[in-house]
């Protein structure tokens, strides 16, 4: 039996008794749905009846119309039990399709449902929603009006119709009218409140919109839309901190029940990235100060200064640190990638300094060790990939090139094995201990995660990478992606890209092991975690540990001081604070180009030496005409200038403490300069 014949038989209700149903609607609503003004006097009964027949022609015919004083009752023959059962079954299937985001299929099924049971109110409403999601707003509007004709007390119908007029037609007045109608029926409906809040925000009434969004959240904390609306509202009004707080609440509290909610989460994650970039720039000064204090504390604890240089790396590394005790130096060295933006360098500095902190803590309790690869460990690794090397040779790679590529990949993987669990510990600490850096941390780690995803998806890299290296690397990348998604409480979904991979089961075990061990680790225990990770990804024997002797001989040349009398400069720290404060105030209203001009001119002038012992204002600058400066004032201007234009450049001046003190005064709005 074909579908059309089945529908006809079910509709006829063969061998069943069909009930009589009725719908009552206010006469005013009939005029509203017709798009006509409500008449001031009682309308003609014949005209009202014709209007009712026209508007309810989608119901089973014939219709019985009874016109009352203020309302109209429409009676019609109901559907057979068989038709109702079949319609209910198909409606469940349509709802599942819609929940999976397959709206075209859901619409097709719901139309069949309404052929069987035209008065099935919920199915007609769901059909309207599916049409709206698929972009067919005109059909959605028509179906919604039919829904409200069947039941004018359906608050949800008024909400969706209001949102349709707001979102698709930008008709805010009509949208507000419909949403107010919904709130009259259901004053605490979260969707009605969310829609009304959105319109309120559109009109620039931020405080009132925020109150309505909060009311919607309180009505149902699992609905994601009000959190997102609150985030958008605060973002547009230049309040990224409040926007971030709203979106954080979304990721923690809201649920993802269907495709529509997933879309909101995706939009929220995009907005969250934009908000974090705004916050990173806004908090850069505060974050910089926190990292400089961190650096100063570690210099004191470790007994060695930290020097910063810049350069390029062969891979996508952003920065590295070399400990004084590993490289025979009287100082530590952090090397930062030259092309790394200034706002991201602050996080990278904090990250590399944290490596120093971990080693210093391990040294204090006698548990520090050095992770090394040797010829012997590389031979072990090369034996594991012999078959892959031969495959590369068969593809045309020279034997030396194939061997060299494999060796480079082995060394890279060994370094990643060491850093992966340590980075988890470091980023957890930074998140907990350095809130001023949180936005910069998010943006920097997002950049790293996206670079890792790009490498993972590169078919050329996958083609030449030995399988054991590829699987281990993917497992570690997947584990770190899971770690980041957890660190940011669902604001990211980096792990989704790794889920289809065979290695993801190992990624889950690695991350699960980290979650168990991480909170209980003491100084030096991170090295045990490296061994445990190596066991889980099959890389045991690819590296060795060497004991830290606790002392070292300085073999590298001493770092030349930038001032001829550092002790004198330290004694002049009090006036230096005020000169640095003056520099911060000047530079706050200058372009980066102007700051660079001043700093570089002072640098050229200083090649012949600056007299910072004398308070006399005997120096002039072309870049700052009509002013005279003391030598110490110029040094502070140059120091503060380089902190803005090239913070990685070490001027070797003992001005860090007065600069930080001035920075704190500047942030608090303190004034004053002193010679």
User: May I ask the CATH architecture of the domain 154-282?
Assistant: Alpha Horseshoe (1.25)
What is the model's pLDDT at position 648? 66
pLDDT at 672 over 80: no
Crossing angle, helix 137-150 and helix 121-134, to 10 degrees? Answer: 160
Range with lowest mean pLDDT among 137-141, 259-263, 395-399: 259-263
d(CA 103, CA 132): 9
What is the model's pLDDT at position 179? 93
Two tokens, residue 476: 């570690």
CB 402 within 8 A of CB 389: yes
Q: If 0-12 CB within 10 Å is exposed, 13-18 middle and 19+ buried, where does residue 323 land?
A: buried
CB atoms within 10 A of CB 245: 15
What is the model's pLDDT at position 259? 62
pLDDT at 11 over 70: no
Binning pLDDT at 50, 70 and 90, where does residue 654 land?
confident
Average pLDDT over residues 338-356: 91
pLDDT at 14 over 70: no
* pLDDT, greater one: 609 or 581: 581
Q: What is the pLDDT of residues 374-391, one digit of tens each?
A: 999 999 999 999 999 898
Say what the pTM is.
Answer: 0.74
d(CA 664, CA 446): 30
Q: What is the pLDDT of residues 272-293, one digit of tens each?
A: 999 999 999 999 888 988 998 8
Average pLDDT over residues 81-107: 89
What is the model's pLDDT at position 298? 93
pLDDT at 110 over 60: yes
CB 513 within 8 A of CB 530: no
What is the model's pLDDT at position 119? 84
Angle (CA) 303 307 313, round 5° = 130
Q: What is the pLDDT of residues 295-326, one digit of tens each?
A: 989 999 999 999 888 888 877 788 999 999 99
* pLDDT, greater one: 234 or 560: 234
* Percent of the chain scoring above 90 in pLDDT: 50
* pLDDT, greater one: 13 or 484: 484
Tell me the residue ranges of DSSP E strands in 444-508: none
Distances (CA, A) of 582 to 182, 229, 569, 618, 641: 59, 42, 18, 18, 11
What is the model's pLDDT at position 439? 97
Give the helix, strand, coil percentages of the chain, each rounded to 5: 65, 5, 30
Phi, psi torsion values for 17, nearest 5 degrees: -100, 125
Q: What is the maximum alpha-carbon separation in the chain?
A: 112
Q: What is the pLDDT of residues 536-579, one digit of tens each?
A: 999 999 999 999 998 887 776 544 444 555 555 555 567 888 88
pLDDT at 252 over 60: yes
d(CA 318, CA 353): 14
Binning pLDDT at 50, 70 and 90, where does residue 57 land?
confident
Average pLDDT over residues 620-649: 88
Identify the DSSP state of 472. H
Q: Contacts from 401-409 at CB under 8 Å and sequence distance 24+? A: 405/464, 406/382, 406/466, 407/378, 407/382, 409/465, 409/466, 409/469
Question: What is the spatial order of strands in the sheet that 64-67 belongs to?
Answer: 20-26, 71-77, 64-67
* pLDDT, greater one: 674 or 18: 18
Mean pLDDT of all residues belonging to the chain: 87
Identify the DSSP state of 591. -
Ranges of each domain in the chain:
20-77, 154-282, 329-547, 566-668
pLDDT at 92 over 50: yes
d(CA 105, CA 398): 55
pLDDT at 161 over 60: yes
Question: In the beta sheet, which residues pair with residue 605?
Answer: none
């Amino acid at each position: 039996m074909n579908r059309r014949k089945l529908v006809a038989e079910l509709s006829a209700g063969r061998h069943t008794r069909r009930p009589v149903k009725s719908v009552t609607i206010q006469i005013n609503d009939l005029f509203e749905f017709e798009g006509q003004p409500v008449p001031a006097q009682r309308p003609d009964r014949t005209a009202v009846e014709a209007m009712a027949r026209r508007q309810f022609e989608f119901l089973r015919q014939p219709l019985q119309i009874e016109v009352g004083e203020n309302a109209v009752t429409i009676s019609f023959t109901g559907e057979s039990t068989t038709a109702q059962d079949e319609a209910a079954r198909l409606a469940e299937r349509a709802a599942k399709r819609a929940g999976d985001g397959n709206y075209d299929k859901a619409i097709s099924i719901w139309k069949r449902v309404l052929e069987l049971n035209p008065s099935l109110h919920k199915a007609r409403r769901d059909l309207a929603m599916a049409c709206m999601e698929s972009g067919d707003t005109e059909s959605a509007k028509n179906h919604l009006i039919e829904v409200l004709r069947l039941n004018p007390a359906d608050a949800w119908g008024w909400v969706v119709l209001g949102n349709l007029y707001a979102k698709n037609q930008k008709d805010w007045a009509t949208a507000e009218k419909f949403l107010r109608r919904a709130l009259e029926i259901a004053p605490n409906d979260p969707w009605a409140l969310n829609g009304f809040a959105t319109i309120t925000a559109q009109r620039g009434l931020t405080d009132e919109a925020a109150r309505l969004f909060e009311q919607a959240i309180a009505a149902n904390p699992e609905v994601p839309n009000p959190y997102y609306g609150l985030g958008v509202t605060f973002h547009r009004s230049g309040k990224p901190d409040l926007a971030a707080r709203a979106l954080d609440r979304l990721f923690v509290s809201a649920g993802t029940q269907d495709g529509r909610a997933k879309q909101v989460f995706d939009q929220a994650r995009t907005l969250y990235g934009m908000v974090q970039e705004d916050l990173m720039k806004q908090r850069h000064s505060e974050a910089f100060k926190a990292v400089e204090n961190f650096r100063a504390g570690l210099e004191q604890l470790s007994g060695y200064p930290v020097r910063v240089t810049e350069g390029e790396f062969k891979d996508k590394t952003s920065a590295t640190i070399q400990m004084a005790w590993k490289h025979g130096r009287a100082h530590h060295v952090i090397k930062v990638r030259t092309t790394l933006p200034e706002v991201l360098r602050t996080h990278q500095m904090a990250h590399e300094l944290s490596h120093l902190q971990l080693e210093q803590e391990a040294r204090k309790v006698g548990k520090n060790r050095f992770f090394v690869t040797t010829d012997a460990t590389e031979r072990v690794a090369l034996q594991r990939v012999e078959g892959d090397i031969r495959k590369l040779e068969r593809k045309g790679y020279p034997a030396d090139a194939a061997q060299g590529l494999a060796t480079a990949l082995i060394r890279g993987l060994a370094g990643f094995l060491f850093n992966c669990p340590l980075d988890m510990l470091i980023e957890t600490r930074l998140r907990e201990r350095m809130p001023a850096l949180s936005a910069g941390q998010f943006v920097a780690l997002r950049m790293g995660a996206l670079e890792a995803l790009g490498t993972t998806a590169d078919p050329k890299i996958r083609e030449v990478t030995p399988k054991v290296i590829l699987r281990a690397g993917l497992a570690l990348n997947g584990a770190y992606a899971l770690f980041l998604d957890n660190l940011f409480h669902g604001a990211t979904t980096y792990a989704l890209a790794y889920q289809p991979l065979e290695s993801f089961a190992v990624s889950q075990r690695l991350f699960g092991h980290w979650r168990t061990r991480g909170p209980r680790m003491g100084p030096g225990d991170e090295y045990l975690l490296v061994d445990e990770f190596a066991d889980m990804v099959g890389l045991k024997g690819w590296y060795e540990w060497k004991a830290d002797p606790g002392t070292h001989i300085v073999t590298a040349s001493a770092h030349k001081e930038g001032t001829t009398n550092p002790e004198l400069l330290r004694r002049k720290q009090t006036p230096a604070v005020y000169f640095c404060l003056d520099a911060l105030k000047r530079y706050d209203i200058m372009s980066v180009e102007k700051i660079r001009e001043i700093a570089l001119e002072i640098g050229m002038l200083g090649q012949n030496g600056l007299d910072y012992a004398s308070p006399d204002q005997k120096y002039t600058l072309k870049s700052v005409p009509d002013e005279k400066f003391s030598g110490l004032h110029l040094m502070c201007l140059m120091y503060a200038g380089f902190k803005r234009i090239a913070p990685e450049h070490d001027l070797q001046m003992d001005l860090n403490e007065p600069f930080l003190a001035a920075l704190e005064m500047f942030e608090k709005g303190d004034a004053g300069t002193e010679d």
